[in-house]
Structure 1
């Protein structure tokens, strides 16, 4: 999972895992591992929303009653932070899920 989290091939740790923002290399350019066989589907999105909700939204909801500011100012701060954290975290979490699937040897299909 650690190698996937840093967006490297979960088998060799040398080749890049992604060829775009979220597009997985079908085969590792370094070792030839078939990383495209693992289907992450919505798991990475689910874990990203769960993480962002707990790490970003929960503290904001706790701070909001203590810090008086208009709603538009709160949203002007909160929405870009949540979008930024989500977009940064998503490829790392997808890589970690792919690493976990590689570790158990699951093909992800039923």
Structure 2
């Protein structure tokens, strides 16, 4: 992975503008600010669409299902108790991770667009 991708990914992970690193990437929970008020970068052009949801489900699935399989004692819980514990846990982890993953994907898209513009 080249340096510009890494920098843009880390900026997006922090929910910062991938171009100037100002904390103005999002106007709300998941609403991307179309134009960065600091550097004027057009962050609204990057279509994250379902990629953020896909990677969030992939990550949360591994974080929740992995321990369930690894520790058989968790599988021995009554179904109602397991659902009472796991459903809010899955919802909370998913909602917490989604904006950070969306920012990361937006950073990768911004770095890719910058590389395409710089290439002859």
Instruction: Say yes or no: TM over 0.5.
Output: yes
CA distance in 2, matches of 1:22, 1:81: 20
Give the superposition deviation at 1:29. Answer: 1.2
Greater share of residues in helix: 2
- 2:14 alignment counterpart: 6
When the two structures are aligned, how many residues end up with a matched partner? 105
Calculate the aligned-residue CA RMSD, in Å: 1.3
Task: Structure 2 unaligned segments of length 5 or more: list them.
Answer: 1-8, 115-120
Match of 2:87 among 71, 76, 79: 79
Match of 2:62 among 51, 54, 73: 54
> Which of 52, 55, 58 is 1:44 aligned to?
52
Work out the CA distance in 2 between the residues paired with 1:80 and 1:50. Answer: 17
TM-score (norm 2): 0.82
Task: Output the CA distance in 2 between the equivalents of 1:96 and 1:58.
Answer: 24
Q: TM-score, with normalisation over the residues of structure 1?
A: 0.89
Query: In terms of mean alpha carbon deviation, does 36-45 or 54-63 score higher?
Result: 54-63
Match of 1:18 in 2: 26
Q: Where has structure 1 moved over 6 Å in runs of 4 or more?
A: none
